[in-house]
Chains A and B, each alone.
Chain A
Amino acid sequence: MGIFSMLTCSSIPQTISSALLTKFHTIPAYSPTKLSESRWAAIDPDDRIIAPEERSRTMRDWTVLFCEIRFRSEVRSPSLSVGTAVVIIVEGEVGESDGCVEEWRCFDLRESYVQINGLGSDLLRRLNPKYTANNVNALINLVPDLTEDLLSSVDQPLQVQRCKKSGRDYLLCDYNRDGDSYRSPWSNEFDPPLTDGTLPSERVRRIEIAANDSFDVYRELYYEGGVSSVYFWNLDDGFAGVVLLKKCMHHSCCPVLARANFWAAVASDNESTGSWDSIHVFEATDRARISHYKLTSTVILNMINGDESLGEMDLSGNMTRQVEQDMPVEDDSSHIANIGKLVEDMELKMRNLLQEVYFGKAKDVVGDLRSRIPPLHLHSIDAHGSNPAGISSLTQQEKDRSVHQEMISSMSKR
């Protein structure tokens, strides 16, 4: 999802530009000012661009007198792919030259931008995933310039709201939000009402209605409950959308998995409980008879288990995967089938992945931290070629006994 914010962002937040500027020598007396529009228009960034590999060395040679960072949508330089680029224009002294030389250069800073832009995300992938929503708010307060990026790129558990017109539940996310209002996929109306809320075009809304009906069926077949919502919006050469699915095992723990509610649910049922949120964001680019789909999927899976002998066990987190595919399109209904297949494939893949990470990897790491079988015993089993898995179902006592037996028999053979 980071890619979308990258493409739609037209200016660089102040914090980020000042962080980028620290890469240059700056003279405090010459605070960077804006270049005039005519000056910008006259600059061809391809003309004197510094290639990324040259950048780190060259940047330090410049003393900034005049500087501005901007996005350029078209860079034709062979060393750079066509697309959105971050370009910095520097005017000032080069190296040890005497006096002020009228010079300027363009730097392609996409990489640095992504690096700094990714900071919030790096921190969020380290902090407890259970509290991502709180941490996002804390980060936004800390660096307000990151607000737009974080809200559009970080997936949080979905909130549920009831559609006043249809009486059906729908899910809230950044893609059906306009100001403080959210659009219901069932009524196409905003709540609280908006007179000028952004709506999809008539054609895209028709596909959106059909997609909502189809994914409602999908939801019932795979989730046997829960809530689904699909939102589409127009792009210049196609459309984009998000498929949302959510299931909570206890209503008391919806929509935010409040810790107290969670434990109350565990205590009352004396069993495990959890919640699943799927967020599938896609772009469909129309071409002749085919469409190119780009899908980014995140699943947030939170689970909890506990009783007196186990204590508290919290296994929570999120995983993200991307896929791109060309698929044939006959008419608009083909899009539903194509997106449906993509999402179904992706969810199957991700469910297997989650199973592997949550119940395989996490469990294995616990075994790496503390081993139930002392290493000495493991060695003696391995040395005699027997299969440790074969005795894993026995009790420790029996294990010890069989190991002892093996040791004795191997010693008597010698």
Chain B
Amino acid sequence: MSVAETIETASSFVLDAPPGELQDVIADIKTLVNDDPAVLDGVTPAMEKYNKEQLITTKLPGSSEQVIISEHNCLPDGRFFDVGSLRSFEFDHVKQKALNPQSWVLESRNAELIKALLRDVAPHVKEHYPSSPAFGVYPIQGDAAAAVVIVGNKYSPSNYWNGRWRSTYTYTPSTTELTGTIQVDVHYYEDGNVRLLTTKPVRVSLNSGTSAEIVKTIASHEKKYQEELSRAFGALSEGAFKNLRRQLPINRQRIDWEKIANYRLGQEIGGGRSVTK
């Protein structure tokens, strides 16, 4: 396998890492490739992509607030900015740590809306995201739109599960349209490997496009989606799961293995493939 192919394979592993488990996946890759520096350097772009896609959160040096890493707040020089704290910072994509924060100025024709959104999203996040959430509002698309990004993480590796909820919205003032995606990723891995992955697109036309209306719309869509998801668990449990394998045979009795030959007899008499006792 060439170095380029190895990097490609290792990169696909990185991008597939469950919430909170990137460092475990990297540790495995390191051992598998015998710490080959060429490969480890080669997967750095994948880690950057992972951090942005997964809305990785980090604390700025000297601050206790979580800030987000995403494509929406990435500056052309690779640094990231945070509107809430008016700071920009470097990010070590391998160690997942923020470095060298500097003051940063918000220059946007949507500055008023962005500030109002920051103020209005905060209570929504506080009410509905109980575990180490973070959010951000950023000018995007050459200042033509504003992005609202919310992420909630809960890691419980000692109990073999981790989870992440991501909401990303784009509001375009010129069309008063709010679009976005809600994604949930849950990983359970005690004596197994179970993964829940969901994606829900959102698209709504707003009336006024005020910060209050935007946040209210986000809140109602997230609430509706969570109810929908809850129902879907029930539908899978009662539908697909039951149809795949019964809990007990139709006569509600476990098989009498000493007399399994009699079951076969029934099958032969019946002539079909169904079994009767």
Contacts and interface: CB of A to CB of B under 8 A. Distances in A.
A122 interface: yes
B186 A119 contact: no
Contact of B9 (A142, A311, A351): A142
B38 to A, nearest CB: 14
A102 B159 CA distance: 49
B144 interface: no
B257 A341 contact: yes
Interface stretch (B77-85, B210-218, B219-227): B219-227
B175 interface: no
15 contacts: A135-B13, A220-B274, A221-B250, A224-B246, A247-B245, A271-B239, A274-B241, A305-B240, A310-B229, A316-B194, A338-B257, A351-B245, A354-B241, A363-B233, A370-B222
Given A119-B28, A127-B13, A142-B1, A276 B245 contact: yes
A365 B197 contact: no
Given A18-B34, A340-B257, A357-B188, A369 B131 contact: yes
B223 A315 contact: no
B75 interface: no
B233 A362 contact: yes
A111 interface: no
B102 interface: no
B196 A128 contact: no
B154 A336 contact: no
Given A138-B12, A141-B1, A273-B240, A317 B195 contact: yes
Interface residues on A, range: 35 or more
A150 B61 CA distance: 43
Contact of B193 (A129, A224, A340): A129
Contacts of A4: none
Interface in B1-48: 1, 5-6, 9-10, 12-13, 16-18, 21, 24-25, 28-29, 31-34
Contact of B198 (A129, A311, A319, A365): A311
Q: Which 5 A-B pairs have the closest CB atoms?
A: A317-B194, A311-B200, A319-B192, A374-B127, A337-B257
Given A142-B1, A319-B194, A348 B188 contact: no
Contacts of B267: 217, 220
B169 interface: no
Contacts of B246: 221-224
B230 interface: yes
A3 interface: no
A313 B198 contact: yes
Contact of A123 (B25, B188, B198, B226): B25
Interface of B: 1, 5-6, 9-10, 12-13, 16-18, 21, 24-25, 28-29, 31-34, 127-131, 152-154, 161, 163-165, 182, 184, 186-189, 191-201, 222-230, 232-237, 239-241, 243-250, 254-255, 257-258, 260, 263-264, 267, 273-275
B273 A220 contact: yes
Nearest to B159: A361
A366 B226 contact: yes
Contacts of A338: 257
Interface in A261-289: 271-276
A126 B24 contact: yes
A301 B240 CA distance: 10
Given A123-B25, A316-B194, A221 B249 contact: yes
Nearest to A372: B226
Contact of A318 (B24, B165, B194, B239): B194
Given A213-B264, A366-B163, A374-B128, A120 B241 contact: no
Contacts of B235: 271-272, 305
A368 B130 contact: yes
Given A272-B239, A320-B191, A365 B154 contact: yes
B34 A321 contact: no
